[in-house]
Amino acid sequence: MYVPSSFQEDDPRVLHALVQTNGFGLLVTVEDGVPHATHLPMLLDPGRGPHGVLCGHLARANAQWKSFDGKSPALAVFLGPHAYVSPRWYTGPRNVPTWDYVAVHVCGAPRVIENRDAVRDLLGRTMSFYESAFPEPRSFDSIPADYAEGLLSAIVAFELPITRIVGARKLSQNKGPTDRARVAEGLRASGDAAAARVADLVQETLGLPGALESAS
């Protein structure tokens, strides 16, 4: 991923947090010169290895898993908040439309998790993570055992030890404080929830709390 230095994010804690917050990613592999991609939720274990380990699962009917040999490279893409930025929000006329966004690219070589107990544990941890936002979270153990066993046979779980992780936070940092403030104002005035989140992030580059933080 090409990332100009002004937009580059290098802090591992920030990168891991971005992956965990935006865990529904795109896993891309190449086999015989043909790219394959699957949209799926992934779980990050930040404490394993030098950069962490991504885990997930896909349908056994999805042939992409057959390239998960622990040697062939893969790319996992995670997209965070993003929004169109109109040139009307800048103070000067010499500006063009652009897009502000947050994204993380993760590289590694995925391998299949063969142990059935490990697969069951991964599904349990994944469900617990994504259910945690609910008042009464469900657990994997709440699924009828015979049905769960059938599901285990229909999926392939994998883990991807991270060899490289690159982050981009393009939040109008190449513009002056006045223009950035106007971009944040314009994004928030659009009434779009995603744009409002980008507005918060742009505002944070000015050393100011976003609307969510200032309201808390």
What tens digit of pLDDT does each residue of 82-118 get?
A: 999 999 999 988 889 999 999 999 999 999 999 999 9
Q: What is the pLDDT of residue 29?
A: 97
Could you tell me the pLDDT band of residue 78, with boundaries at 50, 70 and 90? very high
Rounded to whole angstroms, how far apart are CA atoms 216 and 199? Answer: 17
What tens digit of pLDDT does each residue of 1-51 get?
A: 899 899 999 999 999 999 999 999 999 999 989 999 999 999 999 999 899
Whether the CB-CB separation of 96 and 88 falls below 8 Å is answered with no
Fill in the DSSP letter of residue 128.
H
Task: Work out the burial of residue 102: count CB atoms within 10 Å of its CB; fewer than 13 is exposed, 13-18 middle, 19 or more buried.
Answer: buried
Task: Work out the burial of residue 96: count CB atoms within 10 Å of its CB; fewer than 13 is exposed, 13-18 middle, 19 or more buried.
Answer: exposed
As a whole-number percent, the residues of the chain with pLDDT over 70 amount to 96
**Is residue 195's pLDDT more than 50?**
yes
Buried (b) or exposed (e) across 59-74, using 16+ Cβ within 10 A? Answer: eeeeebbebbeeeeeb
Question: What is the average per-residue pLDDT within 148-161?
Answer: 94
Distances (CA, A) of 97 to 83, 86, 113, 184: 11, 5, 45, 15
Whether the CB-CB separation of 68 and 54 falls below 8 Å is answered with no
Q: What is the pLDDT of residue 214?
A: 39
Q: What is the pLDDT of residue 216?
A: 32
pTM for the whole structure = 0.90
Fill in the DSSP letter of residue 122.
H
Q: What is the pLDDT of residue 49?
A: 86
Read out DSSP for 173-207?
Answer: TTS-HHHHHHHHHHHHHT--HHHHHHHHHHHHTTT
Average pLDDT, whole number, for the chain? 92
Q: What is the pLDDT of residue 93?
A: 87
Angle, vertex CA 110, rays to CA 2 and CA 122, nearest 5: 115
Q: What is the pLDDT of residue 30?
A: 95
Tokens representing 4?
């100009």
**Is residue 210's pLDDT more than 90?**
no
